[in-house]
């Protein structure tokens, strides 16, 4: 099975330092939905792994998170794409949970759920913590410069072997040739 792991905010949709707190605030990055559809059409299953501390901070609730994801799924469907699963950590940043990136808990859950070794699996993020979680399980860390990616790149300290692309569309073109 071919699998790709994507962070959500800053990779699939526009990010905000104030969090994405409603479906109206969720806006896809140009080309990202089509890139996911290309992944699907070339045989990839696509999984989202996202920290959603806005829940732990009481900025929005589970019903709102589900409505945001429903919008994402609906818009993806319009371009022939799909996401096979969404894994999220609702914990606030100051908690010590194992699922919040940079810890690898979500990635270990993905491996268990799909019955796959994540070694070499492309894992796309825009923050250092996304890349660190990827590297911790042997996945291929991929930094996109969208979202917080440019700041992440400038700060340095990326895991060894991190690939860097302008955005999700460029990353998908590079690794699928599509």
C-alpha 31/C-alpha 17 separation (Å) is 22
* pLDDT confidence tier of residue 58, bands split at 50, 70 and 90: confident
In this predicted model, what pLDDT tens digit does every residue of 142-171 receive, in sequence order?
999 999 999 999 999 999 999 999 999 999
CA 130 to chain centre: 8
Cβ-contact 93, 111 below 8 angstroms? no
Task: Give the percent of the chain with pLDDT over 70.
Answer: 99
Stretch 77-98: mean pLDDT, rounded? Answer: 93
Which has the closest alpha carbon to 38: 119, 122, 139? Answer: 122
Domain 2-176 indexed as CATH 3.40.190.10: no
In this predicted model, what pLDDT tens digit does every residue of 9-28 receive, in sequence order?
999 999 998 899 999 999 99
Mean pLDDT of the chain: 96
The residues carrying an active-site annotation are: 7, 9
Structure letter (DSSP) for residue 13: B
pTM value is 0.97
pLDDT at residue 123 tops 70 = yes
Which pLDDT value is given to residue 178?
66
C-alpha 107/C-alpha 29 separation (Å) is 24
Which pLDDT value is given to residue 175?
86
C-alpha 49/C-alpha 107 separation (Å) is 7
Q: 93 pairs with which residues across the strands? A: none
Number of residues that make up the chain: 178
What are the Cα distances from residue 145, in Å, to 96, 126, 154, 165? 28, 7, 10, 6
Instruction: Give the residue ranges of DSSP H helices in 30-167.
Output: 32-41, 53-56, 62-78, 105-114, 128-136, 149-155
So where are the chain's domains?
2-176
């Amino acid at each position: 099975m071919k699998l790709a792991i994507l962070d959500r905010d800053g990779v699939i949709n526009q990010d905000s330092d104030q969090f994405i707190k409603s479906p109206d605030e969720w806006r896809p990055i140009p080309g990202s939905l089509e890139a996911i559809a290309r992944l699907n059409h070339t045989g990839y299953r696509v999984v989202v792994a996202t920290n959603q501390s806005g829940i732990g901070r009481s900025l929005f609730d589970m019903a709102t998170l589900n409505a945001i994801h429903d919008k994402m799924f609906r818009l993806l469907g319009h371009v022939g794409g799909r996401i096979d699963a969404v894994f999220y950590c609702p914990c606030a940043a100051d908690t010590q949970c194992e699922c919040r990136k940079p810890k690898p808990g979500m990635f270990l859950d993905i491996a268990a759920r799909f019955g796959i070794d994540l070694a070499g699996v492309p894992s796309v993020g825009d923050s250092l913590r996304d890349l660190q979680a990827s590297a911790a399980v042997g996945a291929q860390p991929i930094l996109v410069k969208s979202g917080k990616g440019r700041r992440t790149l400038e700060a340095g300290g990326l895991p060894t072997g991190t690939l860097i692309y302008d955005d999700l569309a460029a990353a998908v073109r590079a690794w699928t040739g599509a």
